[in-house]
Amino acid sequence: MKSENSNIVYGRNPVKEALRSGRVSKVFIAPGFSDKEINPLFEQYKPYIKVVSNNELTSKSNGGVHQGIVAEVKPYEYLDLDEILRRSRKVDIPVLVILDGINDTHNLGAILRCCDVFNVSGVLLPKHNSVQLNATVAKSSAGAINYVPVALISSINQTIQKLKDNGFWIVSTDGSAKIDYSKIKYDFPVALVIGSEGKGVSPLVVKNSDYVVKIPQYGHVNSLNASVATGILLSRIRS
C-alpha cells in the first residue's frame, strides 16, 4: 500500500538516506552544491539531477530548511501485518511498536528514528485518527523512514490479539501504572504500545495488555514527549 502524502524530501541527511535506499526519482540542487557523502551517490542519478535557484528549492520544500538539496521520492509503501510478522520470526527477540493516537508528524519521525536505532522489526500505525507517512515525517526521521517497516492496521485491539497468537507480549505505558519499566526482564517478543501525550494509551488497549509500565518522573512536567518515551523504553528493552 502506498502513502497518499507528498513525496518531497529535503535537507542533506534525509535526501542522502533516500538516495542510498534507491527511492529517489528526481534531485534538485542549488548552484555549487557539494557534499562529500552525497556527491558520490549522484553517479546513478545523473540524468535526474537538476540545478535550480535557491528560491525554487525553498518553494519545493514549502519553506523548509533544504540545505541546498531537495528530492522527489517514490511513494512511501506500507507493509501488511503478516509480512512484518514473517520478518520478525527471523529475529531472536523481536520488538514491534504500536502507536495509539500519535498525530504529530515530528513525533512519528522521531519515533521511527528511535526504532531504527534499536532495530525494531516494525511499527504498527492505525489507519484512522493517526498521522501517516509523509515528507515531514521523513525529515524528522533523519532517513529512518527508509529502513523501518511500517504497517497500517484497522484495529489496535484486534491486532493485539493477533500478536498474542503469534507469541508477542503486549507492553503499554501509562502514568498510573504500578510497574517501573526498568524492573521487567524483556526476554520475550515485545509489542510496545506508545500513546499520545494528551490522552495516552486508550483504556481498552491498557486492559488488553500483558504489562502496563511507567517511566518514573522527578521533575515538574507530568508527561514525556512520545518519541522520548519510546527511546527510553526501547533502550531498556534492548539492554
pLDDT in tens, the chain (239 residues): 444 445 888 999 889 988 988 888 999 999 999 999 999 999 888 889 999 999 999 999 888 889 999 999 888 889 999 999 999 999 999 999 999 999 999 999 999 999 999 999 999 999 988 888 887 888 788 888 989 999 999 999 999 999 999 999 999 998 788 999 999 999 999 999 999 877 889 999 999 999 999 998 888 776 788 999 999 999 999 98
Q: Delimit the domains of the chain by residue range.
A: 8-73, 81-237
Exposure on the CB side of residue 232, measured as CA atoms within 13 A: 16
Q: Do domains 8-73 and 81-237 have the same CATH topology?
A: no
Cell of 192: 510496545
pTM: 0.83
Return the bridge partners of 150, or none: 123
On whether the CB atoms of residues 164 and 171 are closer than 8 A, the answer is no
Q: What are residue 180's phi and psi, to 5 degrees? A: -70, 130
Q: Please provide the CATH number assigned to the domain covering 81-237.
A: 3.40.1280.10
CATH 3.30.1330.30 fits 8-73, yes or no: yes
Q: CA-CA distance, 105 to 22, in Å (whole number)? A: 23
